[in-house]
Amino acid sequence: MSLNRSIREEFPLLVSNDVAYLDNAATAQRPACVLDEIRRFYENANANPLRGLYALSVEATSEYESARVAVQQLLNAAHPEEIVFTRNTTEAINLVAYSYGLNKVKQGDNITISIMEHHSNMLPWQMVAGKTGATLTYLECEKDGALTEDAIRNNIPDNTKIVAITHVSNVLGRTTPVETVVARAKEVGAVVLLDAAQSVAHMRVDVQKLGVDFLAFSGHKMMGPMGIGALYGKRELLEEMPPFLTGGEMIEYVTRTGATYAELPHKFEAGTVNAAGAVGLHAAIDFVNRIGYENMEERELLLTRLALDGIKDIPHVHVLGSEDPHEHCGIINFTIDGVHPHDVSQILDSDNVAVRAGHHCAQPLLAYLGVRSTTRASIMFYNTEEEIQRFLKSVSTVRERMGYSE
């Protein structure tokens, strides 16, 4: 797929700034259609959804629930009520940890997560294990991010109640063999939560095919607004779970001594909802459907291969993970001998190349890999070959600009 220039021009920030934006794993850019839909909602349908019987509120409710259906269809969930809107992946995972984990896990049980988890899918389970007395087991990957069948089987013991695992590592870019993890979890009667923050923006995700019980993602990583995300949960599990937050709009009625909670999914959406964010997410989903995941994957693979092939030829640069571009999902994490990643990032920024530096909210994984921090370039389909070449040229000058002679 050659980059369609008209697609590139749909991103206002990319058009107006001469920056090679390679921090897409942190947040993606927004196309004009997403920005336009948010503005349209506030100008034409701005009312509190679910609370009024007048026309504006009915329209706001309709648009909010239409966005829920769009997410359901994106993930191929069985029912719209299996989709709960949250602020982001982090909130969605915490919802499951507090509402399901604290109520279903007890002393003597096991929770398994992988060493590759973002802190957002690690700290909630540390909390659950600490409060319940359960054991927290870490599923360790190979140095390139691969999870072997033996490792999966050996680290999901028979007393496991929850397996919480990333779909795509935000450090290594490696895709987890979800079906293998789910198969083992089902053998022991455990539920599986999938952190799809790094996958939904780059590949088709089918919750029924994968067989996961919960899935969380953030809208802003797939070109939607910040402050909107979603939790998928199997209906029978969500129905058993108590609300995570309580307050307005998540109740049927309230007395002085108690309350009856609303039906799914509203019992998990307390307070005034982010209707404009949901509308913007709907627009982002429509945009992804228009471009097509197959075209996005093909384009990102081409750019990833170009970047990996080029960076191999630069002395003193070391890439984390596999040498195969198919196993990076657009994420290239690297170190440069003798140069701190923060310095690398600042040098690249002086060349108008935006990358991420630090521990990427994955300190246990970096410690496991033997590094403290790295520089990460992450690619989206709207990036160009010229931007990759600019990135490679800038990386090739880092050591010289830091005073090294060779």
Residue tagged active-site, from 33, 141, 329, 361: 361
Same domain, 193 and 301: no
* Domain region containing 352: 5-22+292-401
Q: At what angle do helices 293-312 and 275-291 cross, to 10 degrees?
A: 80
Total number of domains constituting the chain: 2
Q: What is the pLDDT of residue 247?
A: 87
Q: Is 361 a catalytic residue?
A: yes
Q: How confident is the model at residue 51, as a pLDDT? A: 80
Residues whose CB is less than 8 angstroms from the CB of residue 166 and which lie 6 or more positions away in sequence, other chains included = 114, 116, 117, 118, 121, 176, 194, 195, 197, 198
Is there a domain that residue 406 lies in?
no
DSSP state, residue 381: T
245 and 351 together in one domain: no
Tell me the C-alpha distance between 66 and 41, whole Å.
Answer: 13
> Which of 289, 320, 351 lies at the terminal end of a domain, its last residue?
289
**Tens of pLDDT, residues 207-229:** 999 999 999 999 999 999 999 99
pLDDT per residue as tens digits for the range 301-332: 999 999 999 999 999 999 999 999 999 999 99
pLDDT of residue 288: 98
pLDDT reported for residue 4: 60
Residues sharing a CB contact under 8 Å with residue 404, sequence separation 6 or more, in sequence order: 338
In this structure, the answer to whether residues 61 and 194 fall within a common structural domain is: yes
Q: Which residues of the chain have pLDDT under 70?
A: 1-5
CATH number at residue 257: 3.40.640.10
- CATH number of residue 367's parent domain: 3.90.1150.10
Q: At which of 269, 289, 309 does a domain end?
A: 289
258-281 pLDDT, tens digit per residue, is 888 888 999 999 999 999 999 999
